[in-house]
Each structure stands twice: as structure tokens, then as C-alpha cells.
Amino acid sequence: MSLHTPPEYAEGERSFSSQPVTASFLSDEIWRLLAQELRLSSREAEVVRLLVGGHREVDVADALSISSHTVHTYLARIYRKLQVNNRCDVVLRLFEAFVRLRMVERTPLSTKRSADVAGY
């Protein structure tokens, strides 16, 4: 997994493009594992993935063919599940979950929980 400079950010420029980025720096499998780790439904995970990618609630609604009110409701549920109050804290929870998953991945097989091993 490697991060790269977006093409919208040319060398020497001081600002990124105003276009949202996708959260493609994580694979679909990692997103699935993160959702599982955080106990998010598949739809909640889709909402989080788009919001983390920089999309506004209205853009998420369009992408998922739901109303912006429904996106807002999903966001409230996500905040409650993750025990956070804002999007920055959602990102922090995602990062914490990612680190936990990476730590489990690097733990010797004999000490992993059987549920963790099943996914690998």
C-alpha cells in the first residue's frame, strides 16, 4: 500500500485541487475489514468511505441514490456507534482501527484470535 501525490498537485504549487479525492488509498478488502472492526453496516461503511474521500453529504446522497437527509441520519448513527462528534474523529477512529488490524496481521499466527485468522 503506498500513498502518492495526486495529479492535481503539481510540484511547486501551494494548494490541492478542490475536487474530492477518493479514499482509494485503501483497498476494498481493507475497507471491509475496517467496517467489520468498527461494527458498521455496509451502507454506513459506504457513507464513511465517501465522506472520508472529501465528498459533501449532498454528493454522497447522489452517489448512493438516497436523500441527503438519509445521509445525515447515517452520519448520526456512525457518530453514535464510534462515539465521536465530528468527521475528524471518524477519521481518527478509522486510523485506530487500521492500526489494530495491522498489528493483528503482524502478530504470530498462534496468538491471533480465530476470527481474525479466518479473514486471511
Give the CATH number for residue 64.
1.10.10.10
Residue 88: domain span: 28-107
Average pLDDT of the chain? 78
Claim: this prediction has a pTM higher than 0.75: no
User: Residue 18 corresponds to which cell in the numbers above?
Assistant: 478542490
In terms of Cβ atoms closer than 10 Å to its own Cβ (0-12, 13-18, 19+), residue 3 is exposed
CA 5, 8, 10 angle in degrees (round to 5)? 70
Is there a domain that residue 12 lies in?
no
Is there a domain that residue 83 lies in?
yes
Is there a domain that residue 16 lies in?
no
Is there a domain that residue 9 lies in?
no
Structural domains of the chain, count:
1
pLDDT digits (tens, 9 = 90+) for 32-70: 999 999 999 999 999 999 998 889 999 999 999 999 999
Q: For residues 74 and 43, is the Cβ–Cβ distance under 8 A?
A: yes
Is there a domain that residue 52 lies in?
yes
CA distances from 101 to 10, 16, 39, 90, 119 (A): 33, 30, 14, 16, 11
Separation of alpha carbons 41 and 60, rounded Å: 16
Percent of the chain surpassing pLDDT 90 = 53
Is there a domain that residue 89 lies in?
yes
Separation of alpha carbons 66 and 96, rounded Å: 29
pLDDT of 4 > 70? The answer is: no
Higher pLDDT, 30 or 119: 30
